Amino acid sequence: MKILIVIVIIIAIPLVVAIFTKKEYHVEKMITVNQPKKTVFNYVRMLKNQDTYSVWSTMDPQMKKYYRGMDGTPGFVSGWESTNKKVGKGEQEIKEITEGESIDYEIRFMEPFAGIARANMQTDSVSQNETRVTWQFDSRMNYPMNIMLLFMNMDKMVGNDLAIGLANLKQVLEQ
């Protein structure tokens, strides 16, 4: 009987902790690109251009990709499928564009884990020939998996990929 009580307590503690643990997380990185805002915005609005700077696009050179719609417009979908578990299967859709300012995406992960995230790229003029690009990523982990957020540094995990992607973007646009 004591063993059963101990087992119940061991199972119950993480479940109770998960009730009080945050479910959402936000990651944001930015970089300044030495190009006019219009040039930068017109480049990042095209989802296919992420192949030149996104870390995730380069993780598997054999990844299958597909596209639906007209790139750079709301409703355009860029999908991927990979046997690499770090890449998996999913798609990204442009949900909204504020012309010259920002692009909102919905990212739908299908494998190895199902989930939905929101992403945003925003361009702001620093000067006539300098543009600050901010890349944001918002997602959530549902109960009881949200307890993992206590042990995972999402800013480091996702943020490093965003920062590398922005550095790649800067390099591509400043060539």
Write a three-state SS string for 57-72.
HHCCCCCEEEEECCCC
Do residues 169 and 42 lie in contact, with contact meaning Cβ atoms separated by under 8 Å?
A: no
pLDDT at res. 18 = 74
pLDDT at res. 4 = 84
pLDDT at res. 19 = 79
The domains of the chain are located at: 2-174
pLDDT per residue as tens, the chain (175 positions): 888 888 888 888 777 777 777 888 899 999 999 999 999 999 999 999 999 999 988 888 889 999 999 999 999 999 999 998 888 999 999 999 999 999 999 999 999 888 899 999 999 999 999 999 999 999 888 788 777 777 778 788 889 999 999 999 999 999 9
The tokens for 70 are 């007209």
pLDDT at res. 168 = 97
pLDDT at res. 60 = 87
pLDDT at res. 91 = 96
Q: Smallest Cα–Cα separation from 84: which of 53, 57, 47?
A: 57
- If one looks up domain 2-174 in CATH, what number appears? 3.30.530.20
The DSSP call for residue 22 is: -
pLDDT at res. 112 = 86
Pairwise CA distance, residues 46 & 63, whole Å: 19
The tokens for 40 are 């930068």
